[in-house]
Amino acid sequence: MTTWVDLVARARGLATHLLAEDALVELGPPELVERAARDRAAAELAILERWAADRTDALTAIVDDEDRRSLRGLVRGLAAATPLGARLGGAVPTSRLPAATLRDLAAQPTAAALAARLAHHAHPAATALAAPLAHTPLDLLAVEQALAGWFATRARRGARADRALALHVAQVIDVENAGAARLLAARGRALDAAAHFLPGGARLSRTAFLAAATAAPPIAATAVLVRAFAGTPLATALDDTAVDAVERAALAWHLATQRQQCRLEPLGLAPVLALVLRRRAETRRLRHAAWRVALGGAP
C-alpha cells in the first residue's frame, strides 16, 4: 500500500504560504501578475514531484491534468489567432511542459506546426493529437476530445492508487463529457455522438450523455445535464451565458470535493490535489483582479 504521509505534510506546508494579492496586483500589467502566480504554482508542483520520489507515477494524473489544460489553451488561442501572451494565459509549466516549451508551442503559426513541435519535445500527448491537429480546417471538438481521451486513458490507471485522485479524475471526465454533449447538440451531430463519450465519469452516464448530445432543440441538452449534475456548482453554471461559467464551476466543484476528502482521508492525496487546485483558482482570481485594476476598477 502506498503511503503519502511525507508528501501530504509537504503539501500542507506549501498551502500555508499565501500570495499577497494586493501586492501582486500592484506589480502592474496583468500579464506580469499572472506570470508570477503561474510561476509559483509551477514551482510548488515541481517540489511535489521531487518529494514523490519513486511514487511519481501516482502524480501522473495531476501533471497530465495541468498539461491537458495548457495544451487546450494553446490550441484554442491558435484557432482564435490570439497574441502569444494570451495563449499562455493559465498555462502552468510542468516537468514535461516547462516554460520554454510552452513558449515554443505558443509561437507556432499553424496547428500542424504545433503538432510537430509537440512531437519534437516528445510529449506523451503528441501521438493522440497528431491526426486532429493535422486536419484542415481545424476541428476544436476533435482536438479537445483527443486530448481528453489521452488524459482519461492514462489517469484512470493512475487513479487506482488513491480515492481522492479517482474522484478527481472521474469529475474531470464528467466535465469533458458535458462539454462534448453540449457541442454535439449545437452541431446536430447525432450520428457520431456515441463515439465522443468518455467512460470513467461518476455523474454523467452514457445514457444521459447520449440524451443530451442528441437533444432537439439543443437547449434541451442543458436540462438533461442539469439533472445529471444536480447538487453541484455545474448545475447552475450550465444555464449561465458567461463564456467561462462552466470552467469556473468545474474548478469550484473539484476544489470543494478535495477539501471534503481532506477531512475524510487526511493522509491520502486529497491535500496535494487541493493545493494544486487552490493555486489554479488563485491564478484565475489574480488575473481577473489585475485586469480590473488595469481597466480602472477596484482590485
Q: What is the pLDDT of residues 149-158, one digit of tens each?
A: 999 999 988 8
Contact (Cβ atoms closer than 8 angstroms) between residue 151 and residue 65: yes
Residue range 89-114: mean pLDDT, rounded: 94
Residue limits of CATH 1.20.1690 in the chain: 163-268
Q: Which residue has the cell 509549466?
A: 93
| Averaged pLDDT score across all residues of the chain | 89
Predicted confidence at residue 207, as pLDDT, reads 96
Q: Could you give the CA distance from residue 284 to residue 263 in angstroms, rounded to a whole number?
A: 25
The model's pTM is 0.92
The upper half-sphere exposure of residue 109, i.e. CA atoms within 13 Å in the direction of its Cβ, equals 0
More confident residue, 219 or 258: 258
Checking if the pLDDT of 136 tops 60, the result is yes
pLDDT of residue 30: 73
pLDDT digits (tens, 9 = 90+) for 195-244: 999 999 999 999 999 999 999 888 899 999 999 999 999 999 998 888 78
pLDDT at 287: 78
Residue-level pLDDT at 35: 83
If one compares 241 and 108, the residue with the highest pLDDT of the two is 108
- In the prediction, which pLDDT does 34 show? 80
pLDDT band at 28 (very low <50, low <70, confident <90, very high): low
pLDDT value of residue 295:
72
Residue 151 and residue 172 in contact, taking contact as beta carbons nearer than 8 Å: yes
The CATH fold assigned to 163-268 is: V-type ATP synthase subunit C fold (1.20.1690)
For residue 21, name the pLDDT band (cuts at 50, 70, 90): low
Most distant CA pair in the chain, distance: 54
User: Given this model, what pLDDT does residue 24 score?
Assistant: 58
- Residues 271-282: pLDDT tens digits? 999 999 999 998
Q: pLDDT at position 20, please?
A: 60
Q: Give the mean pLDDT of 49-58.
A: 81
- pLDDT at residue 18 above 70? no
